[in-house]
């Protein structure tokens, strides 16, 4: 499998964690979102992913899956063990609701395209920073209420953690204050010691600039 990825893309980072937790081998193909106006906007990449975003997963037979949620659910069905979702239906829903909250209501509001649009509308760095902080703080307030009191989000590592850690990375990058979220910070500390999260981290990617 080939994963089209960018080292600090939140959604690429999710897929890297899922692949690492499942022990699935892949070739990383870097797509630089900055260089030359963005390699994701070039015809070569648009022929892989018509939305022009990362990540994309190209299977050995050539088919491409886009959108991190679709990719991760595919990996869970392709290679069920170790599982990202527990067995019980309600327990599975608890993981998916945290994943969806982060994947729909936090991250899309501060991706590169949205921040560029805000700048095009005349907003300065201060406005953009406030915008990012607002959505991460509001979303994390709900996540903090939804996750458990020990271990990973729901004790054993799973889908909710696959989503939470990249979002925490983005929050740190944008200097969002996380002191009101002790459960989230507990999960962050635990994951920092876990090999799958370490290998998937932006700092461990070969396309990270020197």
- Position 96 contacts a second copy (CB under 8 A): yes
- Position 186 contacts a second copy (CB under 8 A): no
Using H for helix, E for strand and C for coil, what is the string for 121-149?
A: CCCCHHHHHHHHHHHHHHHHHHHHHHCCC
Strands 2-5 and 27-30: parallel
Minimal CA–CA distance to 103: which of 132, 133, 128, 67? 67
Residues 114 and 108: beta-carbon distance below 8 Å: yes
- Position 1 contacts a second copy (CB under 8 A): no
- Position 101 contacts a second copy (CB under 8 A): yes
Q: Is 158 helix (H, G, I), strand (E, B) or coil?
A: coil
Stretch binding a second copy (CB under 8 A), from 19-27, 35-43, 95-103, 186-194: 95-103
Torsion 149-140-94-17 (CA) sign: negative
Distance CA 163, CA 197 (A): 11
* In the complex, minimum distance from the CB of residue 68 to a second copy, in angstroms, rounded to a whole number: 7
Stretch binding a second copy (CB under 8 A), from 19-27, 58-66, 184-192, 195-203: 58-66
Which of 39, 73, 161, 188 is the binder for a second copy (CB under 8 A)? 73
* Residues lying near a second copy in the complex (CB under 8 A): 50-53, 59, 63, 65-71, 73-74, 77-78, 89-90, 92-94, 96-97, 99-101, 103-105, 107-109, 114, 117, 121, 123, 127, 131, 134, 139, 141-142, 145-146
């Amino acid at each position: 499998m080939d994963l089209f990825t960018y080292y600090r893309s939140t959604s690429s980072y999710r897929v890297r964690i899922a692949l690492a937790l499942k022990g699935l081998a892949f070739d990383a193909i870097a797509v630089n979102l900055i260089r030359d106006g963005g390699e994701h906007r070039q015809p070569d990449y648009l022929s892989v992913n018509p939305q022009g975003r990362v990540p994309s997963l190209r299977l050995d037979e050539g088919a491409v899956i886009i959108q991190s949620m679709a990719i991760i659910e595919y990996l869970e069905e392709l290679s069920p063990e170790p599982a990202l979702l527990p067995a019980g239906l309600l327990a599975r829903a608890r993981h998916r609701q945290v994943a969806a909250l982060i994947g729909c209501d936090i991250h899309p509001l501060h991706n590169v395209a949205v921040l560029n649009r805000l700048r095009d509308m005349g907003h300065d760095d201060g406005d953009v920073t406030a915008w990012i902080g607002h959505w991460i703080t509001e979303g994390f307030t709900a996540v903090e209420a939804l996750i458990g009191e020990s271990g990973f989000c729901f004790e054993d590592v799973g889908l909710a953690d696959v989503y939470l850690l990249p979002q925490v990375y983005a929050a740190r990058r944008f200097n969002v204050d996380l002191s009101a979220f002790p459960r989230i910070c507990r999960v962050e500390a635990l994951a920092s010691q876990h090999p799958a999260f370490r290998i998937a981290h932006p700092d461990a990617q070969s396309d990270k600039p020197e």
